[in-house]
Amino acid sequence: MYKLYYYPGNASLAPHMLMEELGVDYELVYVDRNKQAHKSPEYLALNPSGRIPVLEDGAMVISETAAICLHIADRHPEGRMIPDITTPERAKFYQWLMFLTNTIQTEFLVYYYSDRYSSDASDAPAIKEAAEQRLMSYFDIVEAQLAKKGPYMMGKAVSFLDFYLLMLCRWGRFLPTKPNEMKHLGKHVKLMSKHPAVLRTFEQEGLEAPFA
Ligand SMILES: N[C@@H](CCC(=O)N[C@@H](CS)C(=O)NCC(=O)O)C(=O)O
């Protein structure tokens, strides 16, 4: 049985949706960010970066959202949440996963934690504004991919990239140009919002239905 350390709406949302989609056995462990539980010695022993999520798979402890999702998808190939290793789609999948985690997700850290990016607190609004512009340009790139290849990130079949992207679109709900108001991203969000696994996950985390 897996154990997912989560906080509602945090990066734990992607592996949570993935596990729901796959119907695997898992337990949720609430990490109370309001009490700084993610910086407690117990949590830091699991993930020294003090970031959410963490996955326990038996004796193995894994951090980093993309690594967690890859591990789960690889462990359950019958769920087809990642293209087969023998296909060219696998390489394109890696490309988009890295773009989502390395570029968009990382930029959201700058956007949401802009005060951490300068020793001068008065810089934070400008840092946030620049991150906002970059985020919107990155969502334009995803929009173009969906226009070309949609409705899902890998074409006709859903993969865990789509759950990852839904999480990032939700984080983008305060951007001046909201991903869910863009033509193809909006269609993607609508499509994903109907997935029973998504609805169950949002309900379990106490989040309002996505973009309702
Ligand atoms: N690269 C990490 C980033 C995870 C991350 O930044 N999680 C946020 C929540 S969405 C967090 O734990 N923030 C608390 C903090 O930075 O203090 C991953 O993908 O797992």
Which residues span the domain enclosing 16? 2-79
Note whether 188 and 95 are same-domain residues.
Answer: yes
In-domain check, residue 203: no
What total number of domains does the chain contain? 2
From 81, 105, 65, select the one nearest 23 (Cα to Cα): 81
pLDDT score, position 208: 87
In-domain check, residue 207: no
The percent of residues above 70 in pLDDT, for the chain, comes to 99
Note whether 75 and 107 are same-domain residues.
Answer: no
Give the tens place of pLDDT for each residue, 186-209: 999 999 999 999 999 999 999 987
- Distance from residue 64's CA to the centre of ligand 1 (Å): 8
Note whether 96 and 157 are same-domain residues.
Answer: yes
Note whether 100 and 184 are same-domain residues.
Answer: yes
Task: Categorize the per-residue pLDDT at 6 as very low, low, confident or very high, splitting at 50, 70 and 90.
Answer: very high
- Distance from residue 141's CA to the centre of ligand 1 (Å): 23
Cα separation, 168 vs 162, in Å, equals: 10
- Distance from residue 108's CA to the centre of ligand 1 (Å): 10
Beta bridge partners of 162: none
Query: Which residue CA neighbors atom 1 of ligand 1 most closely?
Result: 64
Note whether 133 and 164 are same-domain residues.
Answer: yes
Q: Which residue has the tokens 């956007």?
A: 111
In-domain check, residue 117: yes
- The average pLDDT across 22-46 equals 98
Checking if the pLDDT of 58 tops 80, the result is: yes
Average of per-residue pLDDT values in the chain: 96
Note whether 137 and 39 are same-domain residues.
Answer: no
CATH number where 39 lies: 3.40.30.10
Checking if the pLDDT of 211 tops 70, the result is: no
Checking if the pLDDT of 210 tops 70, the result is: no
pLDDT score, position 209: 75
Note whether 62 and 101 are same-domain residues.
Answer: no
In-domain check, residue 155: yes
Domain boundary among 79, 96, 120: 79
Could you tell me if 31 and 46 are in contact, meaning their C-beta atoms sit under 8 angstroms apart? no
Note whether 95 and 65 are same-domain residues.
Answer: no
Q: Which atom of ligand 1 is nearest to the CA of 109?
A: 6
pLDDT score, position 17: 98
In-domain check, residue 144: yes
Note whether 37 and 103 are same-domain residues.
Answer: no
Note whether 71 and 100 are same-domain residues.
Answer: no
Could you tell me if 11 and 65 are in contact, meaning their C-beta atoms sit under 8 angstroms apart? yes
Note whether 130 and 111 are same-domain residues.
Answer: yes
Q: Which atom of ligand 1 is nearest to the CA of 66?
A: 19
Note whether 161 and 190 are same-domain residues.
Answer: yes
CATH number where 125 lies: 1.20.1050.10
Checking if the pLDDT of 122 tops 70, the result is: yes
- Distance from residue 211's CA to the centre of ligand 1 (Å): 22
Give the tens place of pLDDT for each residue, 156-173: 999 999 999 999 999 999
